[in-house]
Each structure stands twice: as structure tokens, then as C-alpha cells.
Structure 1
Amino acid sequence: MSDKKIDILYVDDEENNLISFKATFRLKYNVMIAVSADAAMKILESKPVEIIITDQRMPNMTGIEFLEKVIEKYPDPVRILLTGYADMNAVIDAVNKGKIYHYLSKPWSEQELEETIKKAFEVYQANKEIKEMNSKLAVSNDQLEFLLRQKLLS
């Protein structure tokens, strides 16, 4: 892993959770915090992130609804859902539909969250490498097709 800090966006309507998260992880990661889904979307418009961690229970929009909105514009960040409520049907639905990488319950354990962030970043990097290889493959296929057409025309 390079020296670049992982960019993490943490979304929670409870300011104490935001302060606690930032205090815990600010030295290891580049932490951005948002008190609402709307504030989080504004951050995403200005700065790409690798990992998004969101609370499930928030006013105006649940964490899952926020992540559904995020995935339309920003499919690359790995998504983690935190919830202190027994909203398991929504969590299971989100996991099954592939919208979130991992689910953690509140209050979160620093060690468990740290391990989840590291694994999520590995997934982010692997997905990025796959995209890069696929685009190189597409270019190679286009070049091959061009050469074959030239041969056929000559």
C-alpha cells in the first residue's frame, strides 16, 4: 500500500458519532464527515472517496437510500453500513442487492471497523485494477479489429 491516506466519507446525523469517528481515525485516514445525506453528496461532488461509511437511521433519508443514490453517480467507493437498530430486513436487502460491502452494528468496535476499512480498501483497489485491465483489453480488441479489417481490405 502506498503512503497515500485512504479517503473515507462518514455520514451520521449524530454529531457525537462524527466527532468520535474523526478523532479515532483522522491520523490513519483522510476522514471527511457529513451530518446528512445531502451534505455527503456535496462532498462527493467535490472530492472522490474510496470508502463511504453511513449510519442507517437518519432523518429525511436512510443510509440504504443514500447509498442507492450514491451508486448511480459514484459506483466506485466501497460502501459500509452502520446501524444501532435491529433493522435486519433492510440490511439483508442492501447486502443481497450488492449495494453495501459490509454491515457493522453500533456502537462500533474500533478494531473491527479498522479491519473492515482495510478489507474494503483492498476490494476498492482490486475493482480499480479490474476496470483498468478491462479498458486495456477493450483498446487491444479495437486495435486487433482494425488490423484485421486492414488485412481483409488489402
Structure 2
Amino acid sequence: MEEKKINVLYVDDEPNNVTSFRAAFRRVFNIYTAESAEEGMKILDSEPIDVILSDQRMPKMTGIEFFQSILTTHPDPIRILITGYTDINAVIDAINVGQVYKYLSKPWNEEDVKNFIFKAFEVLDLRRQNKELTEKLIEANEKLEFLARQNLLS
């Protein structure tokens, strides 16, 4: 059985960064790119994205604001913030507001990014398995409660 490629969305307003990201990771992941948060939202609405990487400093909407804006409509993808600036407030906001899994600085190391994406996907996969098992447990409990009521009535 062939292993599913991870769907990765990379959002950055700098076209050279977008091109570099696609070139570096297209053989390993299914890469989707956007040069604005608005473009990223359109991709999220049309593609099953597993991991999102976004630049922090973009015009109109920061990476954190982008992540915060998609939490209700697309809560599942794991979010990674990338920035060329060291700003502790951005890191804190990313974690608290945008529910960011990782914070990476530019320039990024290809091997680190690849490993972070794989680890992020593991987290996503575990969350999905947990949700599925919880649903099965709820269903089993409902059946047991029904059987227990049937035995009490007879």
C-alpha cells in the first residue's frame, strides 16, 4: 500500500520564498502555495490541507492573524509560523492566539522543516485516531446503556 503524501500549504508574500519552498519540498510533500492569507484561505476551502506554514510578516494580515482567522473553519491542520524576525510577543501570540505547533526562523534549514512537517503530521494523525476512537467508544457506551435498560425492564 502506498503511503499518502502530506498536503502542505505554504503562505508567504515573497515570491522567491514560495518558489524556494516548492522546489525544496515538492518531491516529499504535496505542496500548495499562496502569496497572501486570502489566497491561503481559498486553498484551504478547496483542498484537504494537513500542515500549514505561514510567514509572520505579510501585508494586510500577519501569519498569526491568518491562523486565528481559520481556527473555526479549518481547526484541524497543524500550524507552523515562520519569520525572519525574532519577536517574543509574536511567539507568544502565535501559541496563544493562533494555536501554532512550531515557530521557525528564516532562513530555514530544509532538513529541520521537513522533520517538523513530518512530526506535525504525526500529531494530526494521532488527533484523528483519537477522535475516531472516542466516537467508537461513545457508540459502544450507548449500546451498552441500551442493553442495560433492556435487562432492567425484563
What's the TM-score bracket when you normalise by the shorter of the two chains? over 0.9
Report matched runs for 1:97-116 at 5 Å. 99-116=99-116
Q: Which amino acid aligns with 1:66?
A: F
Unaligned regions of 5+ residues in structure 2, if any? none
Report matched runs for 1:3-42 at 5 Å. 3-42=3-42
Moved more, 20-29 or 65-74: 65-74
CA distance 1:142–1:98, shift in 2 (3 Å): farther
Q: Which amino acid aligns with 1:53?
A: L
Shift of 1:152: 2.6
Unaligned regions of 5+ residues in structure 1, if any? none
Corresponding residue number in structure 1 for 2:130: 130
Corresponding residue number in structure 1 for 2:68: 68
Q: CA separation in 2, counterparts of 1:151 and 1:118?
A: 49
Q: Normalized against structure 1, the TM-score is what?
A: 0.94
Shift of 1:2: 5.0
Q: CA separation in 1, counterparts of 2:133 and 2:47?
A: 24
Is the contact between residue 64 and residue 97 of structure 2 (CA under 8 Å) also seen in structure 1? Answer: no
Shift of 1:125: 1.0
Q: CA separation in 2, counterparts of 1:60 and 1:121?
A: 29
Give deviations 1:103-144, integer Å, cap 9, x for gaps: 000111111111111111111111111111111111111111
CA distance 1:75–1:104, shift in 2 (3 Å): same
Q: Normalized against structure 2, the TM-score is what?
A: 0.94
Q: Which amino acid aligns with 2:28?
A: K
Report matched runs for 1:46-65 at 5 Å. 46-65=46-65
Is the contact between residue 64 and residue 98 of structure 2 (CA under 8 Å) also seen in structure 1? Answer: no
Q: CA separation in 1, counterparts of 2:134 and 2:47?
A: 25
Over aligned residue pairs, what C-alpha RMSD do you find?
1.6
